[in-house]
Amino acid sequence: MVRSALGDIITPDGDFHFQRLIIEGVNNDEVLAVNKPEMVKEETCLSHRSFADGNAYLRRLQDRVQKSLVDRLPFPIVRFADGEYAFYALSLECNGLYRQAESTAAIKAALPLHIDALARLSREGMFAPLIFPGNIEQPRRGIMALVSRLRKRPSASTFLELLEKNGIALTGDNYLPFYVVYAWLSSAPFARLMNGKKICLIGSECDQEACRRWFARFDSSPEIVFAEIPAEYVATRWSTMKDQLLANIPANTDLCLVGAGIGALPVCVDAAAAFSIPVIDAGHVFNMMNDRVDKSNGARLYTHHRL
């Protein structure tokens, strides 16, 4: 388990460490030029010792998805970042680009469902949390430790503490760096793997023709269908939406891509279990496919490939 009590986020046996995420063919210069310069710090992220670099993670992700497709195994993949960290800390700071929670009480009521989904994700799929030196709180002593606890803001540390409290472990088998998901979903190998497959896009809106054009850039022609969910409060109201959403996913779907904000966790876990397929929290790449990068407030790291 990655223990948040350790300031360097290295497990006692040395499984995890921080290193720069290097992926062949990816160029972040354009994204860094239009975003805050400090975003470059996010290129240094938590990595497991079993993976030499980002390319190794990409190969592992592709292999796992291919196995899920062939063997019809549930395989949910979910990303976690500031919004999720705030939600699990019962903070309405989770309401960033989209409205995710109506109130603290609504988060508290939904939290048991999310913790159960986190436990299932650890067994059946992969976590992809954003963990880099800038969003890990360093341990403090004395009066500063008290001040830190009183002023504590949601962070990767609070997320890791939630996992630890509930006996959920991050391992080399169930952990991916956050940006590996973006890099793979925006790559030619993913698009070509989807050629001839049926993809169900789960979100609040979808331009299926724009999605077909996106895949066509890679000489890929998947069949694309759409299952609509509300634009707001999926994270707190999933139990009332679940049956209808699952009924709208075609039975012969090969893979689902999800754009549901913080609600992506239960959506991915439940859809993967219901259909025994890969279900991936696509987030920004979902918007890229729909030609709606504006919904993400601009470009993101690890989504610009040299074609």
pLDDT of residue 149: 47
Tracing tokens 């190794």 back to the chain, one arrives at: 56
Please count the structural domains in the chain. 1
> What is the bridge-based pairing of β-strands 16-20 and 44-48?
antiparallel
Those residues with Cβ within 8 angstroms of residue 266's Cβ, 6 or more apart along the chain or in another chain: 113, 114, 117, 235, 238, 242
Cβ atoms of 117 and 67 closer than 8 Å: no
pLDDT of residue 306: 67
- Range(s) of the domain holding residue 8: 1-307
Tracing tokens 């959920």 back to the chain, one arrives at: 168
Nearest to 25 by CA among 170, 156, 227, 189: 189
Give the predicted TM-score (pTM) of the model: 0.91
Which amino acid, residue 160?
A: L
Cβ atoms of 106 and 238 closer than 8 Å: no
pLDDT of residue 304: 79
pLDDT of residue 35: 80
Which amino acid, residue 119?
A: A
Residues of the chain with pLDDT under 50: 1-10, 12, 142-151
Nearest to 270 by CA among 112, 85, 113: 113
Cβ atoms of 278 and 256 closer than 8 Å: yes
H-helix or E-strand spanning residue 129 = strand 126-129
Cβ atoms of 58 and 23 closer than 8 Å: yes
CA angle 129, 131, 135 (to 5 degrees): 125
- Three-class SS state of 26: strand
